[in-house]
Amino acid sequence: MELRERLVHDATESCPYIDGETARMPLRWQMRHLSGEELDAALADGDRRVGRMLYRTSCPSCTACEALRIPVDEFRPKKSQRRVWRKNQDIKVTVGPAKFSQERLDLYNRHKRERGLSRDGKEMTQQGYEGWFINTCVQTMELCFSLNEKLVGVSIVDVGARDTSSVYHYFDPDLSGRSLGTFSALVEMAWCRTRRGRFHYMGLYVGECDRLNYKARFLPHERRVDGEWIRMGKEGDQ
């Protein structure tokens, strides 16, 4: 029987989302490229991807992390989200395979540094960028956002047979007033619909973490709680 994956890391560490909590995120190296159907199944099980590895939280004393997905055909943007959509119609979006460039790396590092998202203060290198985003075990695409021919944002998206998964989005901090994080999510869902997609996975939701709890504003959505997908029709409510 073919070995599909092997465990390469399984240790506890300080939680990146909740102060004082201990995190455990075992990393499973994928021995081969996964089919679209295999990615869909992994996402449904709560997996996330980084490089050629899949992981899901398995923390010793906390269950705050919940995978969140949106049924794209049922999603209806709120009034504030529609405003963000209209505000950014001058931005050009192009789709293609994820790739590296110095322009992308510089923008990524600016976003991490100026948005206060770096945990250790170190800048990403080309090797790190390619290792996290480009050297992948699934089909990985990027949505590039340009304004007046200048790159102002990039969304890294994994693509399954029926589902898509948002891996990471970064943008020009000078354009924070445009709410490009919200705009990118709306664009990603619209693109998923053009593929006749089913679910767009938004990553982890953590109610106590402001960097992650904004995802609950996209309704309706489903969150994975105790191994079951629970539908949320109103913000924060079942």
- Which domains does the chain possess? 73-204 (3.40.630.30)
Length of the chain equals 238
Q: How confident is the model at residue 3 (pLDDT cuts 50, 70, 90)?
A: confident
Contact at 8 Å (CB) between 222 and 232? Answer: yes
Q: How confident is the model at residue 12 (pLDDT cuts 50, 70, 90)?
A: very high
Q: Which of 216, 68, 97 is nearest to 158 (CA)?
A: 97
Q: How confident is the model at residue 238 (pLDDT cuts 50, 70, 90)?
A: very low
More confident residue, 6 or 119: 6
Identify the DSSP state of 190: H
Q: How far apart are CA 156 and CA 86, in angstroms?
A: 23
Average pLDDT, the chain: 95
pLDDT beyond 50 at 119: yes
- The average pLDDT across 137-151 equals 98
Ramachandran bin of 167, using left for φ above 0, alpha for ψ from -120 to 50, beta for the remaining angles: alpha
**Predicted TM-score (pTM) above 0.75:** yes
H or E element: which one contains 223? strand 221-225
Q: How far apart are CA 125 and CA 106, in angstroms?
A: 9
Residues 6+ away with beta carbon under 8 Å from 190: none
pLDDT beyond 60 at 236: no
